[in-house]
Amino acid sequence: MDKKVIGILIAGALLAVIPWLGLPTFYESFIYLVLHWIILATSWNILSGYTGYFSFGHGAFFGAGMYTTAVLTVNFNMPFLWSLPFAGLVAALIGLAVGFVVFRTRKVRGELFALLTLAVTFVLATIVLNTPIDGGPGVYMTSVAVPKFGPSASSSIYLIALAVAVATVLIAYLIHGSRLGTGLFAIHDDEDVAEVMGVPTFRYKMVALCMSCGLAGLAGGIHALFVSYVTAGETFNITVPLTVVLMSVLGGTRHWAGPALGAVVITALQYAFTAGDSAVVGKAVTGAVLISAILFMPNGILYYFLKRRKKAGLQAPVEKNEAAAVPLSDGEVITRAPHVLSNEILLDVREVSKAFSGVQALNKVSFNVRKGEILGLLGPNGSGKSTFINVASGHFASDGGEILLGGIDLARLPAHAVSHCGVARTYQIPRPFAHMSVLDNVSMAAMFGSNSLDRKASIREAWECLEFTGLAAKALSLPEDLNLHQRKFLELARALASRPQLVLLDEVLSGLTPGEINEAVRMIQKIRAQGATIIFVEHVMRAVMALTDRVVVLHHGQMIASGLATDVMQQPEVITAYLGKQHA
């Protein structure tokens, strides 16, 4: 078994012994509170830390669990333990209902999501206060029988909280290293790109939200019995979400153990400084400690210390295949690789249109691409080339027309499904996942692309693609450490890692030096030799001439010419489009 899993289980087992040590009850209730916050902060982090969708609604889901248990045990005489699954379920269902509406809207990200989730808390509080669920006076749970696990009632509640805390941390850990976790972290960095690379973003967010809310609901159910008097004012207030956010941010949201660490630190601080006579001074000290911790460790305590340890203990990675990173000499002439074109049509574009508030970016564009072909998509700036790639890759929905790939209409598919059909693309302005290493950026494409490789196989594939693009020496760097040429090649490596049958390249050569262009042209020739079909958007004519079998020229969203590059570039309407009317 995984060492960390064993570690979490051992920590749980050690803590389980505490009720039998005969310590003063204060310790037990203090550790209970730590566990309580560990569950809340860690569950919050599964959605909000991993995906970056900061929720301020965790109080709502926690409260939903609290009231579910209170109502079921008090009004329906359900045994406490039986009520717990319902507490989790009700919270998860409310979460799913919110997610179902909110996650469908592209605009609801960032602050808007945070505010919306906060609003859910107030709506729920209003419902609870104005219905028989509470009605105002609160719900007393003193009559509810506490199941007997430990030597006392409070120790039994402690043990239940411990079991749920261990389960929550385990879940957070397992998700962190899983395919789901990789997808969630990609959503965090760039949701649109994640979707285009094959991550089913809506489903992943729903799964994360469901788990996050369900676990918060469980924490609520347990806490209802702990406090034994449930009131809406105590439950649905801003303190719960603020505390979990603070704990997670302090500990580190990108690490599975960050929120748990934050929960320990903050609960301990609260007790150490605010108990006794000096409560006011204590609060100020707690605030000061938190502010300085966040100022000096903005990525969280865990990240800060792990990074320091890495810096001290880790040498630069083995420089793999350094030779490939050396660009070819500037003067080298690129030649056309001999290629016999198949007659089989791979992509059939029929009357595709796309408008942006009045600008007709694509106007009934029709052309086809043969299997194994490199088709140049040309046209002056603003002619609709990138829009075509955006529509074909599912980044934007088209307004009409069909894009048929082997009989499947890509225009009707969500972006992740387009990727699963074997379509990969690059972005004109590189959009790497900023917090992932270069290697992870590429392996993620292999993991979610048409082959859906497992983690090990996708890392192997990623190394190959990085060697192919000459980036192996940079594999463990973050994208911010790459220069433009390397970023462009990273885009290329990501596109290749999914082993696509169709690659859409959007100006991969712009901004490169002549030597780098030669290198890239060679690479694109090799990609085709491996069996891929390529749509190549480019302004560098020398590369267009060397690479393309045919070209299609767009102007104001309309196709104005198609055929061999040498012929098409002579046509008067193409010259006019490129140089303006006065040159015609």
48's contact among Mg ion, ligand ADP, none, with CB below 5 to 8 A by partner kind, is none
**Contact partner, 379, from Mg ion, ligand ADP, none, Cβ < 5-8 Å per class:** ligand ADP
Residue 426 is a binding residue for ligand ADP (CB under 6 A): no
| Residue 257 dihedral angles phi and psi, to the nearest 5° | -95, -5
Residue in the structure block whose two tokens are 């389980």: 16
Q: Quick check: 356 binds ligand ADP (CB under 6 A)?
A: yes
Interface residues for ligand ADP in 210-269 (CB under 6 A)? none
Verify binding: residue 548, ligand ADP, rule CB under 6 A: no
Its sign, for the CA torsion 398, 403, 409, 413, is negative
- Taking the complex as a whole, the smallest distance from the CB of residue 356 to ligand ADP amounts, in Å, to 3
Determine, following the binding rule CB under 6 A, whether residue 382 of this chain makes contact with ligand ADP.
yes
DSSP secondary structure letter of residue 581: G
- Measured over the CA atoms of residue 398, residue 402, residue 404 and residue 410, the dihedral's sign is positive
| The only residue of 385, 416, 474, 528 in contact with ligand ADP, by rule CB under 6 A | 385
Q: Which helix (H) or strand (E) covers residue 142, if one does?
A: none
**Binding Mg ion by CB under 5 A: which of 48, 386, 393, 518?**
386
Distance between CA atoms of 384 and 557, rounded to whole angstroms?
5
Count of CA atoms in the C-beta half-sphere (13 A) of 245:
16
What is the distance between the alpha carbons of residues 547 and 536, in angstroms, rounded to a whole number? 9
Residue 131 interface partner, choices ligand ADP, Mg ion, none, CB cut-off 5-8 Å depending on type? none
Binding residues for Mg ion restricted to 59-118, rule: CB under 5 A: none
Least separation in angstroms between CB 537 and ligand ADP: 7
Alpha carbon distances (Å) from 74 to 70, 83, 85, 144: 6, 10, 16, 7
Q: Which is nearer to ligand ADP, 100 or 356 (CB)?
A: 356
376 scored as a contact of ligand ADP (CB under 6 A) = no
> With CB under 6 A as the contact rule, which of the stretches 31-39, 119-127, 180-188, 385-393 interacts with ligand ADP?
385-393
Q: Is 208 in the site for ligand ADP (CB under 6 A)?
A: no
Closest separation between CB of residue 420 and ligand ADP, Å?
24
3-class SS of residue 457: helix
Longest dimension (CA), the chain: 95
The answer to the question of residue 387 lying near Mg ion (CB under 5 A) is no
Q: Which is nearer to ligand ADP, 385 or 528 (CB)?
A: 385
Stretch that binds Mg ion, among 259-267, 334-342, 379-387, 512-520 (CB under 5 A): 379-387
Q: Which does 384 bind (CB under 5 to 8 A by kind): Mg ion, ligand ADP, none?
A: ligand ADP
386 touches ligand ADP by CB under 6 A:
yes
Q: Which residue pairs from 328-332 have beta carbons closer than 8 angstroms and sit at least 24 positions apart in sequence?
A: 328/515, 328/518, 328/519, 328/522, 329/515, 330/513, 330/514, 330/515, 330/518, 332/515, 332/518
Element (H, E) at 135: none
Applying CB under 6 A, among 42, 286, 363, 387 the residue interacting with ligand ADP is 387
Exposed / middle / buried, residue 13 (Cβ in 10 Å: 0-12, 13-18, 19+)? exposed
> Is 384 one of the binding residues for ligand ADP (CB under 6 A)?
yes
Considering the complex, state which of residue 155 and residue 428 has its C-beta at the smaller distance from Mg ion: 428
SS3 call for 37: helix
Residues that bind Mg ion in the complex, under the rule CB under 5 A: 386, 428
